Amino acid sequence: MRLLSILCALALGTIAAGPAKSAELFGGIHVHDVKTPLDKSGIEDGVDVSLGYRGSTITHLFHGELQPYFFGALNTAEQTHYAAAGISAKFGLGGNWYIRPGLGIAIHSGSAGKFFRTDRVAFGSRVLAEPELGIGTKIRDRVTVEASWVHMSHAQLFGGENPGMDNLGFRLNVAL
């Protein structure tokens, strides 16, 4: 809970800094715990409903922009909920299309156990790395939509148990 308090304080500090030209709110719906080649999981159910905020551009790099983000996701099956904060980059692909890789840290409400379970993902740690990737397009002046992948894992840094979790879905982004 202490880490969640710290993430919330950072988030409120970002919002309190005032609206920025490139800041945005986003909401998403993701299929929870999809079995992919990148994880050993695929045992939890439900859909994740998320709400988040991307702060103003920190810097521009390689025809892209670097932005801080945070979001929370609630699982409809009451399994693993999570919150994440990190940095994402948005790179134009031509026309209205873009790609958005990100890297963050997540905390979750699921099992932090270090042994395999058949009913829930046993992550092996309460704190996880949270890489993500989105590909999107502009649909209105201040609105974009993107397909996104969110992964959570600790890469076996905190022990041998690390099934990881992949969530696949869509986000709707609204520029402020």
For residue 126, what is the domain's CATH number?
Answer: 2.40.160.20
Condensed to tens digits (0 to 9), the pLDDT of residues 109-137 reads 998 887 777 788 888 889 999 999 999 99
pLDDT at residue 130, as a whole number: 96
Among residues 107, 124, 99, which one has the least CA distance to residue 40? 124
- Is the Cα dihedral 2, 156, 108, 16 positive or negative? positive
Q: Where are the alpha helices (DSSP H) in 38-162?
A: none
What mean pLDDT, rounded, does the chain reach?
Answer: 85
What is the per-residue pLDDT for 158? Answer: 60
pLDDT of residue 4: 45
pLDDT digits over 130-161, tens only? 999 999 999 999 999 999 999 998 766 666 66
Q: How do residues 23-67 score in pLDDT, each as one tens digit?
A: 999 999 999 999 888 777 778 999 999 999 999 988 887 778 999
Cβ 109 vs Cβ 119: under 8 Å: no
Find how far residue 56's CA is from the centre of its chain: 17
The total number of structural domains in the chain stands at: 1
Residue 17: per-residue pLDDT: 44
Q: Tokens 């999809």 map to which residue?
A: 34
Which residue range(s) make up the domain with 168?
2-175
